[in-house]
Each structure stands twice: as structure tokens, then as C-alpha cells.
Amino acid sequence: MNHEQEMYEIILHAGNARAFAFEALDAAEAFDFAKAEELIKQADKALAEAHKTQTRLIQAELNGQAGEKSLLMIHAQDHLMTAMSEQKLIERMIRLVKKLKES
């Protein structure tokens, strides 16, 4: 796989993870916590796929096979890190919604 394809792969999986996480938040707002939990699991899987590609790229660079630095690479990295941050925040928000529902 060439570096450009790997960048698109990171963007794709990170975008899917974000979508699943926001769907999970929507489910939690509707008090459907089982659906929210399942969607967070799907987000975790998508992030894991993006992270696997990122790790491959880092390992290649450490082995002297670095690809060209590009705006696409920066965008892919930014997309992944944003998705990871948003998912953690959404997981916390879901826990808060659950606590509010219980009280």
C-alpha cells in the first residue's frame, strides 16, 4: 500500500469512529444505553484500524522508509487525534447522561 492510500485509510477509519461515537451520544440522549455501548465498541474498532495504519507508518519511518511529508499526512494525523479525543469526551458525556437518568 502506498503512503497516500494509507493516509486515506486513516481518514476513513477515523471518520467512521467519529460517526459511531456521535451516534452513541444520540442513543444515550434517548436513554438507549445498550445501543450507545454497542456504537462505542464500533468506534473503538474503527479507531484501532486507523491506529494500526498509523503505527505501520511510524515503524516504516523508524526503519528509514519514511514517506514524503504532506498536507494529506498532516490532515490524516489531525483527523485521527481529533476522533480519539472526541470519542473519549463522548464516552464521558454518556456516563454523565447515565448518572443523570439514574438520579
Catalytic residues: 75
Q: What single-letter amino acid sits at 81?
A: M
HEC profile of 49-61: HHHHHHHHHHHHH
Residues 6+ apart with CB under 8 A from 51: 80
Q: Please give the Cα distance from 20 to 28 (Å, whole number).
A: 12
Closest to 14 (Cα-Cα) out of 88, 84, 71, 85: 84
Helix axes 71-102, 33-62, angle to 10 degrees: 150
